[in-house]
Every structure is written in C-alpha cells, then in structure tokens.
Amino acid sequence: MGPMNTPDNIKPVRKAVFPVAGLGTRFLPATKVMPKEMLTLVDRPLIQHAVEEAKAAGIEEFIFVISKGKEILKDHFIKHEALTKTLEARGKTQQLEAVKSCEIPADKLHLAYQDEPLGLGHAIWCAREFVGDEPFAIMLPDDVVLGDAGCLTQMIETYNKAGGNLVAVMDVPKEDTNKYGILDVHSDDGKLADIKGLVEKPEPENAPSTLSIIGRYILQPEIFEKLSGHEKGAGGEIQLTDAMAKLIGEQPFNGLRFDGTRYDCGHHLGFIEANIAYSMHSPKIGSQVKEIIEKIANGTEEKIHVAAG
C-alpha cells in the first residue's frame, strides 16, 4: 500500500505531526528533567513507538511540536556518530541495528515550538509552516495500539480510497465520554462512520454517541484556517476537535474503527498496563514475562528473608 497507490485526486500523506510539548506532570517525579515521551515502553521510548508506526505507514517527514528543553526528543533520532563507530569497531551488529532503527535524516525531522500550553489545537497550528499545503497525519504518542497492522497504516489505506479527513475511533464506556472527542454520526457501516458532528469531552448525558477519537488523525491543510482563530473550547483550551468540527460539511469526514487494542499511556496505570501487554506479546521475551507475572500474581516468587542475628 502506501502513497504510491493513491488515486490521482487524493493527495498522499507524507508528513506526520507529533504534539509533544506537554510537561508530563502526571508522571512526576519521573518527568522532572526527562520528557514523558522518553519513558520506556518495554524496550524503546514512547516517541519511538509512534515514529516507527508512522514510518511503517509510509510517512517520510516528521514534525515534533515541542516546548523548550525537550530537544532530546530530536536527538534520539539523529545519527550518533561516536556510538555507531564504537559498536561497529566492536562488531556489535545487533546493537548497531537497534541504534540505526531509530535514525531519521536530519532534514526530515523538524522541531516546531509551542511556547505556551494553550491546547492540542494550538500545538497543531504551531506546525503549520512545516506541513504546508498538503494532507498530514497527527500522532499522539500517549495512545498506543497493539495489533497486527499499525493503526496509521490502516488509516492511510482507508484514506487512499476515501480521501478527506479521517480520525481513528473506538467505542468507550458511556461514563468516559468526558475524556475524549466524541462523534455525532450520520451513517456507520461498523468500520467506517460518516461524521456529522464532533464534541470535545461532553458529559455522558450530553454525548451524541460513545464513539471516541483516539490519537491518530489524517487532516487536510484547511484545518489551519479553522485553527487560526485561536478560539478556546472545553477546559479553556484551543481544541483540535472544535477546528475539525468546522471542516465538516465542507470536506468528507470519517471515523475509522481500527483493528487492535489501544492503551492509554497518558496516566500511570494505563502506562503500566501497556508495558505488561506489550511485553507479554513480545516474540522475544513474551513467554518469560508471562512466567514472571504468574509467579508474582500467585505469590510464588522466591522470597528471601534473613532473620536478624
């Protein structure tokens, strides 16, 4: 699949924006000096999971929206000459591959600065010059999806047939609608939903459905016009959902129910859950992790108790 198969009238998605300016206060003290997106999910930082998913979907250019002090997020993807040379000299091929797997050419990785935490809509607006006049993807690294095909790959396959704008969606419990952008739907074939409205974090009694947006989007560049008003919405923030709602009626807007299991790494327990799930499903260490977890859960792990004197 990928951009090569895009019909003539549908512009391919080549760029992805990663809004990663947040302070990660929920993860303090871990995030006192280290960006939340550098926390490890099994064997690599969260940001790398998101970048690899984007790469696998055919994305060629990467735009990180950061705040001052988070430049390490870029460093992680730039060639590390000294380390590479040392590993080469020592014949450490596996480690060399691991290091190379996260390299992006410097001219394909851009930093846009969001100087104030004004909301997700504002973060995306900060990336406008790097995106330019073409459709683009947005990846929220807090949302990870475990499955056979990457979530963004599934979205780009659908986009290459349907065009327009597309968000990844899943059903959430009614009581959780106030944590997500929620869809109001025209028609729904169980896989693709034609969207007629979007509401950011409605209380359950006001929610038009329980179909919620998770952190993968494909949007047309006209979104930047809708964001340029800097209008504040839910929580006093400039919301991406509000700007997207303004595009409905002007352009096609669909929600895609993706295949896979989504984990929310935006809070502690969700992050721990993701680590357990990803490590249990790892072909390399999965069976050992299962044994460890069973032992701990059953209380049969080895306990050392040395009595005093």
Contact by Cβ (8 Å): 46, 167 = no
**Please, which residue, 63 or 170, has the CB nearer to ligand G1P?**
170
> Which ranges in the chain belong to alpha helices (H)?
46-56, 72-75, 81-89, 93-100, 120-125, 128-131, 151-162, 223-227, 240-247, 268-280, 286-298
Give the Cα separation of 39 and 16 in Å (integer).
21
Q: x/- contact string, 121-150, with ligand G1P (CB under 6 A)?
A: -------------------x--x-------
The size of the interface with ligand G1P (CB under 6 A), counted in residues, is: 14
Minimum gap (Å) between residue 295 Cβ and ligand G1P: 34
**Please, which residue, 61 or 200, has the CB nearer to ligand G1P?**
200
Instruction: For the segment 31-50, give every residue that binds ligand G1P (CB under 6 A).
Output: none
**Please, which residue, 87 or 145, has the CB nearer to ligand G1P?**
145
Among 45, 181, 233, 255, binds ligand G1P (CB under 6 A): 181
Report the b/e string of 69-82 with b at 16+ CB within 10 A: ebeebbebbeebee
Instruction: For the segment 58-77, give every residue that binds ligand G1P (CB under 6 A).
Output: none
Alpha-carbon dihedral sign for residues 238, 240, 242, 244: positive
Contact by Cβ (8 Å): 141, 39 = no
Query: Is position 241 an interface residue for ligand G1P (rule: CB under 6 A)?
Result: yes
Stretch that binds ligand G1P, among 158-166, 217-225, 237-245, 248-256 (CB under 6 A): 237-245
Minimum gap (Å) between residue 172 Cβ and ligand G1P: 9
Give the Cα separation of 118 and 110 in Å (integer).
21
Stretch that binds ligand G1P, among 110-118, 239-247, 273-281, 291-299 (CB under 6 A): 239-247
**Please, which residue, 142 or 289, has the CB nearer to ligand G1P?**
142
Stretch that binds ligand G1P, among 128-136, 209-217, 224-232, 276-284 (CB under 6 A): 209-217
Instruction: For the segment 81-120, give every residue that binds ligand G1P (CB under 6 A).
Output: 120
For 174-235, the DSSP string reads GGGGGGSEEEEEEEE-SSEEEEEEEEES--GGG-S-SEEEEEEEEE-TTHHHHHTT----GG
Query: Is position 200 an interface residue for ligand G1P (rule: CB under 6 A)?
Result: yes
Give the Cα separation of 142 and 47 in Å (integer).
9
Radius of gyration of the CA atoms of the chain, in A: 21
Which SS3 state, helix, strand or coil, does residue 11 take? coil
The residue nearest ligand G1P at its CB is 181
The torsion defined by the Cα of 237, 28, 175 and 47, in degrees rounded to 10, comes to: 70
Minimum gap (Å) between residue 22 Cβ and ligand G1P: 8
Q: x/- contact string, 161-180, with ligand G1P (CB under 6 A)?
A: -------------------x
Binding site for ligand G1P (CB under 6 A): 120, 140, 143, 180-181, 200, 212-215, 239-241, 266
